[in-house]
Structure formats: structure tokens, C-alpha cells
Amino acid sequence: MSNQAFDRSGSSGPSGPSGPQDPMEETRQTLAHLARLTMPIPPAHLMVGYLLAHAERVRFTPTLDTDAPLAMAFGVHRRIEVPLVPWEGFARGVPIPDPLLWIEAARSETRSPLSIRVSTDDRLLGALLARHFERRQAGDVRRQREDQVQRLRQQVDQTLDIYAELKRLLADPDREAEGHLPEFLVMAEEQMAHLSQELTALKGQMNLS
């Protein structure tokens, strides 16, 4: 199966979704349009109905994640020469070609996200999917920055601990003759200043995103 999520050169129709929407409403809108396109394909149409009933768990992905606890792929094309299976399902990497068997397998995964990949040449559906991918990418970037902020804070805390220990040693009369301690103290101060600058810049990027 091709990993291309959609081809914008496909069918005619509305130019695309209008304005930013609530993510859940956007998911339902995408599924509703997918439902209209799959009406001539009963197995795929059945599974879109299942997804509409569990819309809060739906995660659209640009490529098929067969290793996800629950995954499925739709091939919805108006051009009949595109040789794609209309629907296929997976449960923990195991292919399940029958929709009813997939639903039965999914009963033990009531909290798992539903990883959905759609291949289509429908322009509106392609635009809706692109918005999901953009939001997911933006979320991934923000999570990466949040992880960076957490790591920087840990480094600042460690450097502060080292700085406090050096100050304590310098205050000890028995240690004041050790000439390398002031040098280490300056290094710790410089490190704290550098980390603080990085932390401030990263927080600024997060506020702008």
C-alpha cells in the first residue's frame, strides 16, 4: 500500500474547510465526509460509523501504524484505476480483514487510541486530513520544547546545588587555602547564566507557537 496520505489533484468539490475549529468537531467533520464517500462500500461505511461513535479516540496519521493497539486504513478514491483496498484493520500488528472481527477484537482495548490512515483523492477530505497532520506536528514540536525546558531546569537545579556546595566549602576556614575553589565557583556562575538564557529563549519560542 502506498504511504501517500492523499492526492490533492483528485476530484472536484469544496475548496477546503473554513477557519480553525475545535479539534473534536474537526474530527467529526472529517469522519462525516468520509462517511459520505464510503456509502457505496458497506464494510468501510460500517467502520466509519464505529469511528463516529468513538470520535474522541480517533487519531488520523499520515502513514499506517500497524504496531498501534488498534489501527485501520481506508482507501477512498474516485479514480477507479487506483488499486487500493477500501478498508483494512489491525489489532496489535495482526491484520484483521473483517470489520466485525475487528470490532470484536477492539472490545479489549476500550481506552486505546484509534490510529486511522486515509488514502484519498478527494480534495476536501485531503484538506481536512492535512489540518489534522499540521495540528499533530505542532503538538509534537511543543512537547519536544517542553521536554527541553524540563531538562534545562534539571541542569539549572544541579548547577545550583554545585554552586551552593562550592560556597559552603569556601566558607570553611580549612578549605579557604584551596585555590581552585573560586575558579570552580566562577564556572558554576557562568553555567547558570548560560542555562538561564537558554531557558528564557525556549520559553519565548513556546509562547510564540
150 and 128 housed in the same domain: no
- Asked if residue 177 is part of any domain, the answer here is yes
31: CB partners within 8 A, 6+ apart: 48, 51, 52, 55, 58
- Asked if residue 92 is part of any domain, the answer here is yes
- Asked if residue 1 is part of any domain, the answer here is no
- Where in the sequence is the domain holding 113, given as residue range(s)? 6-139
48 and 32 housed in the same domain: yes
Bridge partners (DSSP) listed for residue 118: 74
Question: Among the three residues 88, 118, 139, which one is the final residue of a domain in this structure?
Answer: 139
75 and 119 housed in the same domain: yes
* Domain total in the chain: 2
Query: Mean pLDDT across the stretch 161-180?
Result: 74
CATH number at residue 102: 3.40.1530.30
pLDDT tens for 47-62 read 999 999 999 999 999 9
- Rounded to whole angstroms, the maximal C-alpha distance in the chain is 87
pLDDT tens for 81-94 read 556 789 999 999 99
